[in-house]
């Protein structure tokens, strides 16, 4: 069986490694993948947004199953285009991917179906938005409607900051058309939890919960990044919270999408905040999270391809999905300067026995060597019986991986450990 994975980061590497455990797969293609995946997949230099080329490649190479991992191609309709050629896919069609593609859509969906989320207002007119900010509670949160490389959310601590965020989105168009409409929403506080769920629109199976670490610096200081590390399970996500989320958020979201004629099939990502008034949705993603996937999939006991195919066929209900009763920690090693300017091209070295624990995001092959090629270079995952064990083991591995200008947070999982102590 020939499988194709669209995307090129650490998340895709984690998906590919997990898929490889299935012996019926003879070859995996990564489009575009990256040089660090070359041992696990055939790298095909087609960009994740080049939908026509992706479809063409799939048809010519008789691909049996496709996994579309990143938000952009999903929102652009990659799954629709592949399915039109008869290629079964894991991932939502464009109609369903709008749950991530438009914040205005997702906020209105939650309001219509009583799914708990922050209070908000939508604006298509800049003057009206600025006017609203004169009396809005501060801090406030400004969100561009469309996809913005994960940078479209600004938490404004002052009225002036809020106004300048609105101007940069609506007047200067820093996120292009994504800022034509904006959402201004209530600032919520509480621990954050990420929950990825398999769903085919009939059943929904939450995966093990996780915790991202978005800021670049230790103790959650510095700039927001794509994610500097993750742990799973998230200790804040207790059985009670999980039951409540299932009843108040997960199932209602699946049913709301069905009622809207936008049945979601694939991995639905719930970004949650556990507020004093209960769990609320911060954001939906129409895909696996990165770097959440790098801790969640290593804990998956069930064969990934089997689960994905069950989702595609609408048979998830008859598929038992099991997770190991262990803990995982992923530390991201980045290029110094990320998420701003950084240098690339430094050789990456590590002992061969670590290869299984490394998910490569930003690396390329040059003259037979692996060199850095991005801000987030790779993720290092370890599993342990306890969270402490997992954290210690992943940092042990990190110390054996070298490249010039490497930097990583030293405190991945520290907040989760504290939460455990306080229980």
Residues in contact with ligand AMP by CB under 6 A are 118, 141, 150, 153, 155, 185-188, 192, 214, 271, 282-283
Q: Which contacts (CB < 8 Å, 24+ apart) does range 417-420 have?
A: 417/387, 417/388, 417/391, 419/191, 419/235, 419/236, 420/235, 420/387
Choose the one of ligand AMP, ligand GLY, none that binds residue 252, judging by a C-beta under 5 to 8 angstroms depending on kind.
none
Minimum distance between the CB of residue 287 and ligand GLY, rounded to whole angstroms?
8
Minimum distance between the CB of residue 93 and ligand AMP, rounded to whole angstroms?
22
Q: Please state the length of the chain.
A: 423
> Considering beta carbons, is residue 220 or 388 the nearer one to ligand GLY?
220
Residue 304 and residue 15 in contact, taking contact as beta carbons nearer than 8 Å: yes
Minimum distance between the CB of residue 271 and ligand AMP, rounded to whole angstroms?
6
Window 203-232: contact mask with ligand GLY (x via CB under 6 A): ---------x--------------x-----
In this chain, which residue has its C-beta nearest to ligand GLY?
289
> Considering beta carbons, is residue 189 or 386 the nearer one to ligand AMP?
189
Q: Across the strands, what pairs with 153?
A: 143
Structure tokens, 156 = 């404004």
> Considering beta carbons, is residue 110 or 361 the nearer one to ligand GLY?
361
Size of the site for ligand GLY (CB under 6 A): 7
Helices (H), 90-158: 94-101, 103-112, 126-133
Token pair 């770097």: residue: 291
Choose the one of ligand AMP, ligand GLY, none that binds residue 206, judging by a C-beta under 5 to 8 angstroms depending on kind.
none
> Considering beta carbons, is residue 89 or 141 the nearer one to ligand AMP?
141
Choose the one of ligand AMP, ligand GLY, none that binds residue 220, judging by a C-beta under 5 to 8 angstroms depending on kind.
none
Choose the one of ligand AMP, ligand GLY, none that binds residue 292, judging by a C-beta under 5 to 8 angstroms depending on kind.
ligand GLY
Number of Cβ within 10 Å of residue 318's Cβ equals: 8
In angstroms, the CA 20 to CA 298 distance is 12
**Residues 271-300 interacting with ligand GLY (rule: CB under 6 A):** 285, 289-290, 292
Q: CB within 8 A of 207, min separation 6: which ones? A: 195, 196, 197, 198, 296, 300, 321, 323
> Considering beta carbons, is residue 41 or 141 the nearer one to ligand AMP?
141
User: What is the bridge-based pairing of β-strands 65-68 and 2-7?
Assistant: parallel
> Considering beta carbons, is residue 203 or 234 the nearer one to ligand GLY?
234
Q: What are the two backbone dihedrals, phi and then psi, of residue 193, each rounded to the nearest 5 degrees?
A: -135, 140
Positions touching ligand GLY (CB under 6 A) are 150, 212, 227, 285, 289-290, 292
């Amino acid at each position: 069986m020939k499988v194709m994975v669209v995307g090129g980061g650490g998340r895709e590497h984690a998906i590919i490694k997990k898929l490889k455990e299935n012996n019926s797969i003879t070859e995996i293609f990564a489009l575009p993948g990256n040089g660090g995946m070359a041992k696990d997949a055939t790298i095909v230099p087609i960009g994740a947004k080049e939908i026509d080329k992706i479809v063409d490649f799939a048809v010519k190479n008789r691909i049996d199953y496709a996994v579309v991992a990143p938000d952009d191609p999903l929102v652009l309709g990659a799954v629709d285009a592949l399915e039109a050629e008869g290629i079964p896919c894991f991932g939502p069609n464009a109609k369903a991917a709008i749950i991530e593609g438009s914040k205005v859509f997702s906020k209105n969906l939650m309001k219509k179906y009583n799914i708990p989320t922050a209070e908000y207002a939508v604006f298509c007119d800049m003057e009206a938005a600025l006017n609203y900010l004169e009396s809005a509670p501060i801090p406030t949160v400004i969100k561009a409607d469309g996809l913005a490389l994960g940078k479209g959310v600004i938490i404004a601590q002052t009225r002036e900051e809020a106004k300048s965020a609105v101007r940069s989105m609506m007047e200067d168009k820093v996120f292009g058309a994504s800022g034509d409409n904006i959402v201004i929403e209530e600032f919520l506080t509480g621990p954050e939890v990420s929950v990825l769920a398999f769903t085919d629109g009939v059943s929904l199976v939450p995966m093990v919960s996780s915790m991202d670490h978005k800021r670049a610096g230790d103790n959650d200081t510095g700039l927001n990044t794509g994610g500097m590390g993750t742990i799973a399970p998230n200790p804040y996500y207790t059985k009670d919270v999980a039951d409540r989320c299932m009843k108040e958020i997960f199932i209602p979201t699946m049913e709301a999408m069905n009622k809207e004629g936008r049945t979601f099939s694939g991995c639905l990502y719930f970004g949650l905040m556990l507020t004093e008034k209960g769990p609320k949705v911060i954001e939906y993603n129409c895909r696996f999270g990165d770097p959440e996937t790098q801790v969640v999939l290593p804990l998956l006991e069930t064969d990934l391809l089997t689960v994905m195919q069950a989702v595609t066929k609408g048979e998830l209900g008859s598929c038992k999905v099991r997770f190991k009763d262990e803990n995982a920690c992923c530390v991201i090693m980045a290029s110094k300067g990320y998420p701003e300017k950084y240098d690339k091209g430094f050789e990456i070295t590590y002992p061969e026995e670590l290869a299984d624990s490394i998910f490569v995001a930003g690396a390329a092959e040059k003259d037979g060597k692996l060199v850095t090629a991005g801000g987030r270079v790779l993720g290092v995952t370890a599993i342990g019986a306890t969270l402490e064990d997992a954290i210690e083991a992943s940092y042990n591995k990190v110390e054996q991986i070298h490249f010039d200008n490497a930097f990583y947070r030293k405190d991945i999982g520290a907040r989760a450990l504290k939460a455990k102590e306080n229980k």
